[in-house]
Amino acid sequence: MGQITKSLAIASLFPKSMERFEALEKTLHYIKGRGFTMVEFYTPPGHDRELAKLLKETGFASVFIAVYALKGAGFSLCAPEEAERLKAVEVLKDCLDRGAVMGCRTVLINSGFLPKDGALIDAACESYIRSIREAYAYIASKGYTLDIVLEPGDSCVQSFQLLGPTDRVVETTKEIRSRIPGYGLTMDVAHLREEGEDIMGSLTKTLPYCTHIHLCNCVMDDPKHPFYGDKHVDFDYPGASFGYADFERMYGEIRRLYKGRDFIITLESLCRTEDNERWFDELVRNCSWL
């Protein structure tokens, strides 16, 4: 029987945790002892060593979300233009440095933007593969013990990422894994819905490379809706693609798919209320099947 690790995407569950170290510290103490043993977070530089100590004290394994730094810088690891690609690699290296100091298990990335010129898609895939190989060479040169994990995004709704369609994700992952077995995938069910893909069909395709799945919601039926796209709406949001019963069923299907394999399952939703802790408590209560 494989081991299931339960994780929390606290960057969205507790948005203030991304702004100040004190807020992140408060969050980690608040969620401790609730059955979740991993956290996924981003925090500005300045308190990395303090955070390493805090993570150790609270007992959480951790994922550093480099996606925020990469998107914030506006650079793409898959950029066909070499100058931009190298800038993105430097941002990633900085995140790897920080992740190593904080004792993170993995650093989570996005691929970068889909080229506007469709003729450049193959070149962009090659650029991405080259970026990952350079990043792993950097990891080896520093003696770090962490890995890089890609979270595919949507390619056609909001994020416009190169690595969104599952077939393209699998193709590039196979190429990278032929030399770098530690590289892997984190699949997000909302992103798969945004791609218009069958969720369990896509997760079956990525099974050899994916050990981490995000449960996340989205609104997709009305393009004029203010929360249309990848907005991380509540699990019971009216008009959303999924509800609590759907996530419970999905989790059961994922467990059957991963039977005998270790995997990580993450709750991800964006808190939009003033009473963050009360909102979080209700979310966890409604996911008692997890």
Query: In this predicted model, what pLDDT tens digit does every residue of 21-44 receive, in sequence order?
Result: 999 999 999 999 999 999 999 999
| Confidence class for position 2, pLDDT limits 50, 70, 90 | confident
- What are the C-alpha distances in Å from 217 to residues 59, 234, 250, 270, 277? 28, 7, 12, 10, 20
Instruction: Name all domains of the chain by residue range, CATH numbers in brackets.
Output: 4-286 (3.20.20.150)
Is 80 exceeded by the pLDDT of residue 1?
Answer: no
Task: Determine the Cα–Cα distance for residues 229 and 112; give it in Å rounded to an integer.
Answer: 18
Residue of 90, 39, 88 lying closest to 62 (CA atoms): 39
Q: Which has the closest alpha carbon to 194: 169, 224, 229?
A: 229
Average of pLDDT values for 39-55?
97
